[in-house]
Amino acid sequence: MIFKDKDLQCADCNKDFIFTAAEQEEFESRGYTNSPRRCTSCRNERKARQNSSTVGSYRNDSNIDRTRRQMFPAVCSECKKETQVPFKPSENKLVYCSNCYNKVRTGR
């Protein structure tokens, strides 16, 4: 397919920008079917905002030390072994150790 440069308008700043033929080829190679809604600078600003808001979450794994996750003591509902879970267990919910959880999960 032959691509031609397209004039588009940014959804954020309303400025016109060119969606080049090379960019269109790149989009197609990645399987994208829609044209970009934002100009390059607005896309970069949006990515920077999203990345700064995910520091400390599990979304951005490269910046996370998973050992900092708070763990809570619990007793497995299946095998009755003491274990630790990443949430505060409540009395009315079933809690599984990792081995029992994997068995229950694959049985669904």
27 domain residue, yes or no: yes
pLDDT digits (tens, 9 = 90+) for 38-64: 999 999 999 998 887 655 555 555 555
Q: Is residue 1 part of a domain?
A: no
Whether 11 and 35 map to the same domain: the answer is yes
User: Which structural domain range is residue 54 located in?
Assistant: 6-63
Q: How many domains does the chain have?
A: 2
* pLDDT, tens digit (0-9, with 9 covering 90-100), for 64-98: 555 577 888 999 999 999 998 888 888 888 999 88
> In 10 A of CB 83, how many CB atoms?
20
Point out the domain boundary residue: 63, 79, 94: 63
Whether 13 is covered by a domain: the verdict is: yes
> Are 6 and 35 a contacting pair, CB within 8 Å?
yes
End-to-end Cα, the chain, rounded Å? 45
Q: Are residues 28 and 59 in the same domain?
A: yes
Same domain, 44 and 26: yes
This prediction has a pTM of: 0.47
Any domain includes 23:
yes
